[in-house]
Each structure stands twice: as C-alpha cells, then as structure tokens.
Amino acid sequence: MLRLCTCVGVLLTAGFLAFAQKAMTPDPNGPRPIDAVDSVWIEDLTWMEVRDAVKAGKTTAIIATGGVEQNGPYLVTGKHNVVLKGLCEIIARKLGDALVAPVVVFVPEGDIDPPSSHMKYPGTISLTEDTYERLLTDIGASLKAHGFTRLVLLGDSGGNQKGMKAVADKLNAKWAGGKARAYFIPEFYDYGGLNKWVASQGVKQVDEGFHDDFAMTAQMMAVDPTSVRHKQRIAGKKATINGVDISDVAKTQEWGKKIFDYRADVTIKALKAATAKDAGK
C-alpha cells in the first residue's frame, strides 16, 4: 500500500511539473486569442500585446526614474512617480511608436548610513549609485532583448540624472554597430525652464521653502488630487503653494495638463534632435 501511494504521488508530481513547465513556456509565436487593450504601459499589457506592439512598430521604450523621498508637508513621498505616470503616458502617445516600462521608483536619495540628504527623513528609500546603474542597465538590456531599438531614459529628480547618462553611454558603447541605441534626455528635467514658462503664463510664486512648487502640485493633481492631500488642505485652509491658490481642483488640473503638454513637447523635440544627430554620424 505504501509503495502504491508513493508511485501515485510521484506520478502526480511529474504531471504537475509537466503542466507547470508548459504554462511557463508558451509558444513565443502563438496567436493572441483576444483583442489588445489600448495602453502604453508595459506592465498593463500581456506579453502577447507587448510582442505584437513591437512587431507593429512600437520599438521605442521609455525608461523613467522617479524616487521615494521627503517632499514637504503636503506631497506624498512618491511625488515624482505620480508625475511620471501622467507625463510618460502623454509622451508615449505623442511619439506614437513608444511603450513605457514600469517607473523605476527606487533611486539614489543620499547615503544610507549615516544618512544624508533626503535619507534624513522617514519614508525615503535610497539606492547606492552602483545598484541604481546596474538596475537601469539590466532594464535596458531586457528591453533590447525583446526588440526595442530606441531606449529613452528620463529622470524626474535631480539625483537621477548622472546615473542615467552613465548607463546610456555604457549601453551605447556595448551596442556599437547594432540597431539599438539609448538616449538620455536631460531636457526632460529642466524645472528651471519650466518655472520660467509657468511665470510667463502669469503665475507668480513666492518661495515658501518647501520641496514643492505650483508646477509640481498641478502635475500631481492632474493625476491624483489625494497625492497632494487636497481635501485635507481645504479643511485646514492650506490650499495654496508658494502663494498660488489650488483650491479649485478642475482649474489646477487643467494647469497640470498644460504643464504635461509643455514638458512632453520639450522632451520630444530634444529626443528628435538626438536621434537626428545619431543618424547623421
């Protein structure tokens, strides 16, 4: 009886493993059984939808980095990630040939022990520069392996820029002579230029000393008003930033959308210039 039970157990295990192996290794060229959804986010697509999008010409992949850090008394620690969810969607759709990788939410935020910079404040999560660059390198290599030939690196935080440029340079050196290229676009992170543009549109700010401003708040509200604690600020009579009123949700969201469009256009112009420069070599 014991021998019989053992044999049955072995057979069941073998059958399960064979089933699991088949489930984990579907035919890479198998037909997609249902219509695809309209999304530019790789994490929101099935593997078949990504495959077919690349085959159809969506060979640009956006790799965006945000962060988890202190952002003053009103904004969530993931403020850059919130902005990127709204802005990268617009950039990808304006480009027409792009998909967006999941936002890289962990970036260098200061030394961990002893803590420096943002790491002095609870909620912040930091990476070493080496870990950060290795992560970006593997993400880029993965996307290349699946047929993406133009990788666009965009960072929404100051500490992200150096590592993204270094990784783009290393990938391009490694891929020299091939079809794939990595483009770090520093113009994406031009908050100085953005604030000048916002001021030219009639918005006057007085710096209150927070890691926050009207452009950032408006972008975040365009995605999710709770991320700036809008309801609580209304209740606490704190619905301003740098002297600018944000109490009207619809009006502030409209500003956020305008800012998204402005930043998207600046980024795409810079990407096109970089691509054209590459083509001329």
Tens-place pLDDT, residues 219-253: 999 999 999 999 999 999 999 999 999 999 999 99
Q: In this prediction, what percent of the chain has a pLDDT beyond 90?
A: 89
In terms of C-beta density within 10 A (0-12 exposed, 13-18 middle, 19 or more buried), how is residue 257 classed?
middle
- Residue 275 is predicted with a pLDDT of 96
| Residue 33 pLDDT > 90 | yes
| Nearest Cα residue to 265 out of 95, 32, 46 | 95
pLDDT for position 19: 53
Mean pLDDT value across residues 96-106: 98
pLDDT higher than 80, residue 8: no
Lowest-confidence region among 14-23, 156-165, 175-184: 14-23
Q: Which residue has tokens 């002893």? A: 114
Q: What is the pLDDT of residue 77?
A: 98
Lowest mean pLDDT segment, chosen from 25-34, 46-55, 74-83, 229-238:
25-34
Q: What is the pLDDT of residue 16?
A: 53
**pTM score > 0.85 for this model?**
yes
Tell me the one-letter amino acid at 93: R
Q: Which domains does the chain have, with CATH numbers?
A: 37-189+263-279 (3.40.50.10310)
pLDDT for the residue 279 = 82
Structure tokens at 187: 């113009």
Kindly indicate the confidence band of residue 87, based on its pLDDT and cuts at 50, 70 and 90. very high
**What CA–CA distance (Å, rounded) separates 265 from 268?**
5
Contacts of 227 (CB under 8 A, 6+ apart): 75, 76, 78, 79, 82, 220, 221
Strand duo 150-155 + 240-241: pairing: unpaired
The pLDDT assigned to 11 comes to 55
The radius of gyration computed from the CA coordinates of the chain, to the nearest angstrom, equals: 23
- What pLDDT is attached to residue 278? 86
- Tell me what pLDDT residue 280 has: 75
Whether 4 shows a pLDDT value over 80: the answer reads no
Could you tell me the pLDDT band of residue 100, with boundaries at 50, 70 and 90? Answer: very high
